[in-house]
């Protein structure tokens, strides 16, 4: 989604703005722009990559001691230069605005501002903000007040950056529902959508809260909160020292962030489970100070998530029911928020999200609370995210920054965390003997090594990828707890290689999808040696008999032999409950290598964004 960078400093801020935009590229965008002020506003915009903007800056010698910059992921209006940010307004002197999020009342605001004489030159909701701020600026002659009064009129979830021609030494930023933080540096003050954008200039960060408006000049800043007062009440916010390393956000020796992140999984899972590795037993405290009392009062689980995180929830459902005997329902967040579900105050609502900023997940968790669910838990990869701030309990997946748009290490660390939740609940509900608990701890300690051995299948997967790259469709099959893994494999393939892929529970094939099977349709099957293997083999026979070409990821002891049109890659070991985590790896590798063969943009697939901060 859109990325914002702002800077006011002793020296020309353009390099900081551009570096920040490069760091935010992973969020997904289709145009980029910046404005700097040097007594007049100098704006540059392009529908190309940030590299194109860098070229424009060089050609036009853009410089300034303050500026705001933006990558736009189109929502209102096509990706075009006319719709790219910053947007400018100004009857007396000019102001410029960048914006992330959606203004829900933009249509009525647009009509009102048009009546006031404003002429719109773009199709964006952002331009409404620019004219509205200008309108209030004319009344108040003070940009800070004008921004506060404007946000009081805007509905939706957004973060904005504003600057004006006549004060080329300051920027104003505001946050309401979309992420924005301040960076406090020695040579200047900064703002950005996330910490990675500012690491080159500072590690001192302030995470703005809902309704905060901040004014930044080179050596000072002030923050007010406008939730209860239109003009804002001064507030103090804690300064955090970011411990994000440059290494964590750089590609290093890899060709793509996705490749790096796939291979980081053994380490990411080890970091996530570190507390368990050092412990002799599993304790509810892993989920927060109140966890013991909340979990002992919980009688069921409701999981809310989107995309890959939703798939993690579906795997957890099997675990929670089987191991902890806990009723569990898993809902797509964007659907749940518009239903009329029946709330149970003893249900623990679990929001799963890599970013912790996914608008639908945040809204669904809030909605569950409104309906009467009193307990919530975030399973999230970003400690300062909105999701973590809004839940009673939290468990941080310690995957490190995930920059490739396709989620990989976030998924496997979510699974590891959810298994931990399952084991914790099983223990609290007397469903887990001491011996079984020790077995689980041993299995979790072994997980990083087992993941490492799953990665060894890469050369074999690469051979398969060559055949897939010529296909237009693929089916993925799994049964039981591996059905959501088939769904995740299909999602990975479609999002980065643009091959149409669908997942089915293997037993469901004969109820319709079998009609699709012919020699042109590759069928990927996940075949662990579990209690459903016999059933799965029968389903594979149904496909084989109809000329379908099968690509099977089996466990070493699954006893599925290669034959014509039946190809098998064997994972080194059968991991019992942990099997879905291990079987994810070859599917990620398959998608990655197919995308490479097809030459698509692996890390930034078309039309997609990393943190989906709009509905
Ligand atoms: C797929 C993918 C998305 C995200 C989804 C939720 O590879 O990355 O489907 O999983 O947008 O995002 P988070 O987990 O940040 O809430």
User: Which of 308, 387, 402, 484 for mutating ligand 1's site (highest number of atoms within 8 Å of CB)?
Assistant: 308
Over residues 159-184, mean pLDDT: 94
Q: Specify whether the backbone of 445 is left (phi greater than 0), alpha (psi in -120 to 50) or beta.
A: alpha
First to last CA, the chain: 11
Q: Which atom of ligand 1 is nearest to the CA of 358?
A: 16
Question: What is the 407 CA–ligand 1 centroid distance (Å)?
Answer: 6
Which residue among 358, 362, 493 is best mutated to probe the pocket of ligand 1, counting the most ligand atoms within 8 A of its Cβ? 358
In this prediction, residues 194-221 reach a mean pLDDT of 95
HSE at residue 389, side-chain half, CA atoms within 13 A, is 12
Q: Which two tokens stand for residue 546?
A: 């109809």
Q: What is the pLDDT of residues 582-602, one digit of tens each?
A: 999 999 999 999 999 999 999
pLDDT computed for residue 1 by the predictor: 74
Q: Which of the following is catalytic: 409, 427, 604, 610?
A: 610
Predicted pLDDT of residue 360: 95
Give the Å distance between the CA of 438 and the centre of ligand 1.
33
CA distances to 169, 556, 559, 577 from 529, rounded to whole Å, are: 65, 8, 9, 11
Q: Which two tokens stand for residue 200?
A: 């080159």
Phi, psi at residue 519, to the nearest 5°? Answer: -70, -15
Of 210 and 89, which is predicted with more confidence? Answer: 89
Scored b (16 or more CB within 10 A) or e, 160-185 reads bbbbbbebbebbbbbbbbbbbbbbbb
Whether omega for the bond prior to residue 86 falls within 30 degrees of 0, making it cis, is: yes
Q: What is the pLDDT of residue 580?
A: 97
Q: How far apart are CA 55 and CA 20, in angstroms?
A: 16
8 A C-beta contact, residue 576 and residue 63: no
Overall average pLDDT of the 444-470 stretch = 94
Q: Quote the pLDDT of residue 408.
A: 98
**What is the strand order of the sheet 87-89 is part of?**
87-89, 95-103, 156-164, 167-176, 212-217, 220-225, 233-234
Q: What is the pLDDT of residue 280?
A: 83
- The phi and psi torsions of 229 (rounded to 5 degrees) equal -150, 120
Tell me how crowded residue 93 is: count the other CB atoms within 10 A of its CB: 13
Mean residue pLDDT of the chain comes to 94
For 238-290, how does the pLDDT look when each residue is reduced to its tens digit (9 = 90+)? 999 998 888 888 888 999 999 999 999 999 999 999 888 878 889 999 998 89
Decide which of 39 and 58 is more confident: 58
For CA atoms 273, 381, 260, 415, give the dihedral sign. Answer: positive
Average pLDDT over residues 544-549: 88
Residue 346 confidence (pLDDT) above 90:
yes
- Strand, coil or helix: 497: helix
- In 3D, which of 183, 174, 249 has the Cα closest to residue 218? 183
List the alpha helices (DSSP H) in 505-607: 533-544, 579-598
Share of the chain above pLDDT 70, in %: 100
Q: Which residues contact 615 (CB under 8 A, 6 or more apart)?
A: 102, 334, 359, 360, 363
pLDDT of residue 28: 82
- Reported as a single tens digit per residue, the pLDDT across 514-529 is 899 998 899 999 999 9
In the numeric block, the tokens 């990559």 are attached to 49
pLDDT per position as a tens digit, 479-493: 999 999 999 999 999
- Please confirm, yes or no, whether 610 is among the known catalytic residues: yes
Q: What was the pLDDT predicted at 73?
A: 87
Contacts (Cβ under 8 Å, ≥6 apart) of 35: 41, 42, 43, 44, 67, 68, 69, 86, 88, 96, 98, 163
Measured between alpha carbons, how far is 422 from 316 in angstroms, rounded to an integer? 8
Centroid of ligand 1 to alpha carbon of 606 (angstroms): 15
When mean pLDDT is compared across 78-82, 216-220, 489-493, 566-570, the lowest value belongs to: 78-82
Q: How far is CA 107 from each of CA 20, 83, 101, 178, rounded to the nearest angstrom?
A: 32, 16, 15, 20
Q: Which protein residues touch ligand 1 with a CB less than 6 Å away?
A: 306-309, 353-355, 358, 361, 406-407, 491, 495, 611-612
**In the chain, what's the furthest Cα-to-Cα distance?**
79
User: Is 306 a catalytic site residue?
Assistant: no
Please, are residues 178 and 73 in contact by the beta-carbon 8 Å criterion?
Answer: no
Nearest CA to ligand 1 atom 11: 307
**116, pLDDT greater than 80:** yes
Measured torsion, CA atoms of residues 258, 261, 262, 265, in degrees rounded to the nearest 10: -170
193 contacts 179 by C-beta, under 8 angstroms: yes
Of 612, 613, 615, the one to substitute when testing ligand 1's pocket (max ligand atoms within 8 A of C-beta) is 612
pLDDT at 92 over 80: no
Q: What is the pLDDT of residue 543?
A: 87
Smallest CA-to-CA distance from 129 within 81, 173, 64, 169 is with: 173
Q: What percent of the chain has pLDDT over 90?
A: 80
Phi-psi category of residue 430: left, alpha or beta, with phi > 0 → left and psi -120 to 50 → alpha: left
Element (H, E) at 293: helix 291-296
pLDDT at residue 104 above 90?
A: no
* 399-452 confidence digits (pLDDT tens): 999 999 999 999 999 999 999 999 999 999 999 999 999 999 999 999 999 999
Contact indicator for 177, 83 with CB cutoff of 8 Å: no
Average confidence (pLDDT) over 105-115: 95
Angstrom distance (rounded) from CA 20 to CA 14: 10
User: Residue 458: its pLDDT value, please?
Assistant: 97
Instruction: Please tell me whether residue 59 adopts helix, strand or coil conformation.
Output: helix
- HSE-up of residue 447 (Cα within 13 Å, Cβ side): 36
DSSP code at position 496: H
Res. 612 pLDDT band, cuts 50 70 90: confident
What pLDDT was estimated at residue 281? 87
Cα-to-centroid distance, 308 and ligand 1 (Å): 5
Rounded average pLDDT over 199-215: 95
Ligand 1 atom nearest 410 alpha carbon: 14
């Amino acid at each position: 989604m859109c990325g914002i960078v702002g800077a006011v400093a002793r020296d020309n801020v353009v390099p900081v703005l551009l570096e920040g935009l490069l760091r935010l590229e992973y969020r997904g965008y289709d145009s980029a722009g910046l404005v700097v002020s040097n007594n007049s506003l100098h704006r540059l915009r392009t529908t190309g990559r940030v590299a194109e903007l860098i070229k424009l800056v060089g050609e036009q010698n853009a410089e300034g001691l303050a500026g705001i910059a933006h990558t736009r992921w189109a929502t209102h209006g096509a990706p075009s230069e006319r719709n790219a940010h910053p947007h400018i307004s100004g009857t007396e002197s000019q102001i410029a605005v960048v914006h992330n999020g959606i203004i829900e009342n933009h249509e009525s605001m647009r009509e009102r501002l048009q009546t006031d004489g404003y002429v719109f030159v773009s199709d964006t909701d952002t331009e409404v903000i620019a004219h509205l701020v200008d309108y209030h600026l004319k009344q108040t002659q003070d940009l800070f007040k004008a921004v506060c009064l404007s946000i009081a009129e805007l509905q939706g979830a957004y973060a904005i950056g504003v600057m004006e021609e006549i004060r080329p030494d300051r920027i104003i930023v505001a946050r309401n529902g979309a992420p924005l933080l301040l960076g406090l540096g020695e040579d200047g003050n900064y703002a950005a959508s996330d910490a990675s954008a500012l690491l080159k200039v500072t590690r001192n960060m302030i995470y703005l809260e809902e309704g905060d408006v901040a004014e930044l000049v080179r050596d000072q800043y002030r923050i007010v909160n406008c939730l209860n007062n239109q003009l804002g009440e001064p507030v103090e916010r804690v300064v955090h020292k970011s411990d994000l390393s440059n290494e964590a956000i750089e590609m290093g020796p890899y060709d793509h962030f996705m490749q790096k992140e796939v291979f980081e999984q053994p380490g990411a899972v080890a970091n996530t489970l570190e507390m368990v590795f050092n412990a002799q037993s599993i304790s509810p405290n892993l989920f927060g100070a109140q966890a013991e009392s909340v979990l002992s009062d919980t009688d069921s689980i409701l999981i809310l998530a989107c995309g890959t995180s939703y798939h993690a929830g579906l795997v957890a459902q099997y675990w929670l029911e089987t191991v902890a005997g806990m009723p569990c329902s898993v809902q797509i967040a964007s659907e749940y928020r518009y239903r009329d579900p029946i709330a149970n105050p003893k249900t623990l609502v679990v929001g799963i999200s890599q970013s912790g900023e996914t608008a639908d997940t945040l809204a669904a968790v809030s909605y569950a609370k409104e309906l009467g669910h009193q307990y919530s838990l975030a399973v999230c990869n970003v400690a300062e995210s909105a999701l973590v701030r809004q839940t009673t309990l939290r468990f941080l997946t310690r995957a490190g920054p995930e920059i490739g748009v396709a989620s990989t290490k976030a998924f496997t660390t979510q699974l590891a965390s959810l298994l931990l939740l399952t084991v914790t609940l099983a223990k609290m509900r007397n469903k887990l003997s001491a011996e079984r608990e020790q077995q689980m701890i041993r299995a979790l300690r072994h997980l990083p090594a087992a993941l490492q051995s799953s990665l060894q299948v890469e050369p074999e997967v690469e051979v398969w990828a060559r055949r897939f790259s010529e296909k237009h469709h693929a089916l993925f099959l799994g049964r039981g707890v591996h059905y959501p893994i088939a769904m995740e494999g299909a999602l990975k393939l479609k999002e980065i290689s643009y091959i149409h892929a669908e997942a089915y529970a293997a037993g469901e094939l004969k109820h319709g999808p079998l009609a699709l099977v012919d020699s042109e349709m590759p069928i990927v099957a996940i075949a662990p040696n579990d209690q459903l293997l016999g059933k799965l083999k029968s389903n594979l026979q149904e496909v084989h008999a109809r000329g379908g070409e099968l690509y099977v990821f089996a466990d070493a002891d699954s006893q599925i032999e290669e034959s014509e049109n039946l190809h098998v890659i064997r994972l080194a070991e059968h991991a019992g409950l942990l099997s879905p985590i291990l079987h994810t790896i070859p599917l990620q590798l398959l998608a990655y290598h197919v995308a490479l063969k097809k030459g698509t943009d692996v890390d930034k697939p078309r039309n997609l964004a990393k943190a989906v901060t709009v509905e």
